[in-house]
Amino acid sequence: MSNETKLIFQHSRPGRGANAQAPKPVSEDQLSAIPASLRRKQKPGLPEVSELDVVRHYTNLSSKNFAIDKQFYPLGSCTMKYNPRGANRAAMLPGFLARHPLAPASHSQGYLACLYDLQNFLKEVTGMKGVSLAPMAGAQGEFAGVAMIRAYHDARNDDGRTEILIPEAAHGTNPATAVMCGYKVREVPVGKDGDVDLEALKQACGPQTAGLMMTNPSTCGVFERQIEAIAKTVHDAGGLLYYDGANLNAILGKVRPGDMGFDVIHMNLHKTFATPHGGGGPGAGPVGVSQRLLPYLPTPMAGLDEDSGEYSWIDTDTLPTSIGHLSAFMGNAGVLLRAYFYAMVLGREGMIRVGEYSTLAANYLLKRLQQVGYTAAYPERRASHEFILTLAKEAKELNVTAMDVAKRLLDYNQHAPTTYFPLLVPECLLIEPTETESKEAMDDFIAAMEAILHEAKTDPDMVKEAPFTQPVRRLDDVKAARELDLTWSE
Amino acid sequence: MPYIPHTPDDVSAMLDAIGAERIEDLFDEIPAHLKAGSSLDALPEGRGEMEVTRLMAERAEQDRYALSFLGGGAYQHHIPAAVWEIATRGEFYTAYTPYQAEASQGTLQVIYEYQTLIARLTGMDVANASVYDGASGLAEAVLMALRANRKSKSNRVLVPEALNPRYRSACDAIVRNQDVALDTVPFCGQAGQTLADSLSQYEGQDYAALVISQPNYFGSLEDVDALTDWAHANSMLVIAVVNPTSLALLTPPGEWGSEGADIVVGEGQPLGIPLSSGGPYFGFMACKQKHVRQMPGRIIGRTVDLEGKQGFTLTLQAREQHIRRSKATSNICTNQGLAMTAATIYMSLIGPDGLASVAGHCHANTQKLADKLTAIDGVERAFTAPTFHEVVLFLPQDADTVLAKLAEKDILGGLSLAKDYGMQNAILVNATEVHTEGDLDLFVAAMKEVLA
């Protein structure tokens, strides 16, 4: 591991530079058209470093990261599966990289063909009637979905619908999105078995209901068994049903959101379609819709003229009811191309295998972790592609928390599961192995978890003070928030 | 099985451990009649990496090479080889959001350096870890200004007509659901600028902010000092929309007028991100210290670990959706981590003098191109204002027709202003440091032929 502790600015020396990279300076004469009053007085404080300084510094920093390419990464609800290198190479082909987003369709047929195929692929996989690839992330897909629900009600002059219903176990983006779309949020409780409290939902539904946002399998890691009754309840009240595709991996090739009665869904291609997370993005959050929301899909989309075989952009001039553009151009093209590569390699049987083997892995891991002494949050239920352990007992009896176990896992070279989410399960770890991890990789994780439980009983400080092997020990988050230091100064 | 490692023995061992006979048994909680559509019959059969790579290579090839002078918010620049060689290292490429700080110090330090670079480039106090792109960044800035401007009770923001129309429409699509109105400030038809005089009609009215684009969509340089001071005198915040390359030469928004802009956003693509059909890019976002708690998105702080050693961590998370849910500043969850990482490497490589040199060549080449094109009979500059690296030209013929004829010669000769501004004969043209004298001459010769 690297011991690089300097910032790039601390490598800077006046007069140094990566001199192969910039063109020679222009003369002041050539800048004379820019009024002096608009000129910068002091040059910006970018570092002055050599090319080797930069390559070495950032290579060293990279080694301070955990990554799928290095470690098992069982983050629940994040679907950290292998990101095929072939997808990266295909998306970085010069023809795709050099294409200007506003290049005419005549110079974009190859790119448009990929998008068109991907739209159709996603339509079939999800059972929806139309797909737009425009949203740039899961949260933007959610925004597009709820904005379409609003556009639908508005078009019918059904303007008393002011509320979006959200199960309490939902991702934080769901309520935040509803508010961004101008709705109030009403939370719906979840029962002890992980299913939505149907009676409470019936009470909450009414003429003020614009829609319900839910994830299925839910963030409790179980399939919502009453989904048909839920759909009927919401639809009977005049609301629409939104599917958050965070957990789509679990049901690929098993059951489709369109067949469960959902009106609109978003997919996270950076989860289900294996595009990289890149340390926090970029993602892509395509949306799929049922028949009645087709007029509102965000633009642009790829269209095909069957007669001429020519592809073109479908934009607001041909779809004026669309909720419009969500970015300056047409979404995260490079992410879409990577997802297209993955979809084409997997094909029909591959898609079905994703649901099967991710579910197999999760159920195996759950059973084995129960055997070594951990407590499942929903022991009576099948795991979907992920499951929840609760360490409430360990926290009470041993004073060792879920966070402690998560931190100690890092010392065993295992990335921590998602901690403290969903909020309704105390001291929880949300664990998702994905279909791309081998049985041996899972067995190593199980062995680490078993060893940590033993440590918690015999040497709890070892767990409570972990990690010991990382570039830093536990960080002072309170100091970080109180004494804000967000930019470097010499 | 592509990307799935299990042998038949592994599968049996796992099923045995679970106590299930078949994988299908694991789906017994899903109502059987809902499963009917899941045979996915319409999907193609899977293919190997070789076949799919060939298919995509053929398609990439099909998007023929063209000599491009398109700008409009995305620009061709030289990208040092090291930028993406490093950014696509697996340790950056396949890491998750840095929630486990101890195991993410690489990504976290890169973001801290990025925040510093953006703050320095824009002349602002603080920056966040990036948002999706420049246009959605503007929407976030508008919503932020409504929260941050405590003197204003209005849900209205002034937006110049000379702002990139794609920014305007994306911003509108995002903020209109919260009943936010974007009122348009017209530009001067002679200068191609937003004049302070045109603002007098809004004096005394309650607006939360004024958006100032430097340069504006026409490439024109605005009198940012006058506009900024006018906004502040009228209790509005200033949202600056800027091109990052230009900031090597132009006054940073933090120094506009007597107090500086309050919020700065822009498209980060020129900083080492390939055109790549429109994304992934990243939006940068910076602000004055006093507004930092109203800023959306991820923010990284420097702190110490329990042994006193320097470390980096996510901070001010009480603004974010995973903590605050419906009370969050935005629903944004990701940043554009990988693109932002590439931009950090780009800015470090190019350095302050290098970026000034890139900006200088962009400006000089565009001036030269405009001079050469306006030497053709009937081609003239549309506006009198000074420009940075884009310029609007009037043609003696219909712009869309001329551009289509140029495209047939594999020259993408600019963007038409017909649809967005009703200027039937006007094109927006850009040149950067990548264009040679020969490229400019090819364009000029083709334009002469088309207009002949």
- Report CB contact under 8 Å: A139, B334: yes
Is B263 in contact with B144 (CB distance < 8 Å)? yes
The Cα of A398 is separated from the nearest Cα of chain B by a number of Å equal to 22
Q: What domains sit in chain B, N to C, each tagged with a CATH number? A: 67-78+352-451 (3.90.1150.10), 81-345 (3.40.640.10)
Question: B41 in contact with A at a CB cutoff of 8 Å?
Answer: yes
Question: B101 in contact with A at a CB cutoff of 8 Å?
Answer: yes
φ, ψ of residue A347 to 5 degrees: the values are 60, -165
d(CA A165, CA A190): 12
d(CA A135, CA B315): 27
CB proximity under 8 Å: B 305-344 to A: 305-307, 309-313, 315-316, 320-328, 330-339, 341, 344
Question: B197 in contact with A at a CB cutoff of 8 Å?
Answer: no
Residue B318 confidence (pLDDT): 85
Q: What domains sit in chain A, N to C, each tagged with a CATH number? A: 8-62 (no CATH), 86-345 (3.40.640.10)
- With 0-12 / 13-18 / 19 or more C-beta atoms within 10 angstroms meaning exposed / middle / buried, residue A476 is middle
φ, ψ of residue B304 to 5 degrees: the values are -130, 160
- Other Cβ atoms less than 10 A from the Cβ of B217: the count is 28
The Cα of B246 is separated from the nearest Cα of chain A by a number of Å equal to 10
Question: A341 in contact with B at a CB cutoff of 8 Å?
Answer: yes
Q: Beta partners for B104? A: A65
Is A165 in contact with A202 (CB distance < 8 Å)? no
d(CA B239, CA B175): 15
- Report CB contact under 8 Å: A21, B44: no
Sheet of strand B263-267: strand arrangement: B126-127, B283-287, B263-267, B237-242, B209-214, B156-160, B181-185
DSSP state of B319: G
Residue A1 confidence (pLDDT): 57
* A39 contact partners, CB below 8 Å, separation of at least 6: A31, B249, B250, B251
- Report CB contact under 8 Å: B60, A96: yes
CA atoms within 13 A on the CB side of A281: 30
- Report CB contact under 8 Å: A107, B49: no
CB proximity under 8 Å: A 191-250 to B: 222-223, 225, 227-228
- With 0-12 / 13-18 / 19 or more C-beta atoms within 10 angstroms meaning exposed / middle / buried, residue B397 is middle
The Cα of B397 is separated from the nearest Cα of chain A by a number of Å equal to 19
- Report CB contact under 8 Å: A18, B351: yes
The Cα of A124 is separated from the nearest Cα of chain B by a number of Å equal to 6
What are the structure tokens assigned to A329, written together?
Answer: 């151009």
* A449 contact partners, CB below 8 Å, separation of at least 6: A369, A372, A374, A405, A409
The Cα of B370 is separated from the nearest Cα of chain A by a number of Å equal to 13
* A116 contact partners, CB below 8 Å, separation of at least 6: A302, A303, A304, A311
The Cα of B57 is separated from the nearest Cα of chain A by a number of Å equal to 7
- Report CB contact under 8 Å: B106, A328: no
Q: Which of A4, A93, A125, A180 to mutate to test the interface with B (most CBs of B within 10 A)?
A: A180
CB proximity under 8 Å: B 201-240 to A: 221, 224-225
- Report CB contact under 8 Å: B109, A7: yes
Q: Which of B349, B363, B419, B429 to mutate to test the interface with A (most CBs of A within 10 A)?
A: B349
Question: B442 in contact with A at a CB cutoff of 8 Å?
Answer: no
What distances in angstroms separate CA B340 from CA A247, A278, B177, one per listed residue?
Answer: 27, 10, 29
Q: Which of A220, A227, A256, A487 to mutate to test the interface with B (most CBs of B within 10 A)?
A: A487
d(CA B262, CA B253): 8
Is A74 in contact with A433 (CB distance < 8 Å)? yes
d(CA A295, CA B438): 47
Residue A2 confidence (pLDDT): 66
What are the structure tokens assigned to A249, written together?
Answer: 């991996």
Sequence-ordered alpha helix ranges (H) in A164-288: 173-180, 198-204, 227-236, 257-260, 269-272
Profile chain A (490 residues) by mean pLDDT over runs of 10 residues.
85 95 94 97 97 98 97 96 98 95 96 98 97 97 98 96 94 93 96 95 97 94 95 98 96 95 97 96 96 98 96 95 96 97 97 97 98 97 96 97 98 97 94 98 98 98 97 96 95
- Report CB contact under 8 Å: A18, B349: yes
Sequence-ordered alpha helix ranges (H) in A70-137: 85-91, 94-97, 109-126
ipTM: 0.97
What distances in angstroms separate CA B303 from CA B83, B105, B296, B306, B313, one per listed residue?
Answer: 28, 12, 21, 10, 7
Q: Which amino acid is at B420?
A: D
φ, ψ of residue B126 to 5 degrees: the values are -140, 160
Q: List chain B pLDDT tens, one digit each, 452 residues.
A: 999 999 999 999 999 999 999 999 999 999 999 997 778 999 999 999 999 999 999 999 998 789 999 999 999 999 999 999 999 999 999 999 999 999 999 999 999 999 999 999 999 999 999 999 999 999 999 999 999 999 999 999 999 999 999 999 999 999 999 999 999 999 999 999 999 999 999 999 999 999 999 999 999 999 999 999 999 999 999 999 999 999 999 999 999 999 999 999 999 999 999 999 999 999 999 999 999 999 999 999 999 999 999 999 999 988 888 888 888 888 888 889 999 999 999 999 999 999 999 999 999 999 999 999 999 999 999 999 999 999 999 999 999 999 999 999 999 999 999 999 999 999 999 999 999 999 999 999 999 999 99
DSSP state of B447: H
Chain A, chain B: beta-carbon pairs less than 8 Å apart: 676
CA-closest candidate to residue A249, choices A436, A56, A381? A436
Chain A residues with CB-CB distance to B27 below 8 A? 254-255, 355, 359, 382
The Cα of A451 is separated from the nearest Cα of chain B by a number of Å equal to 20
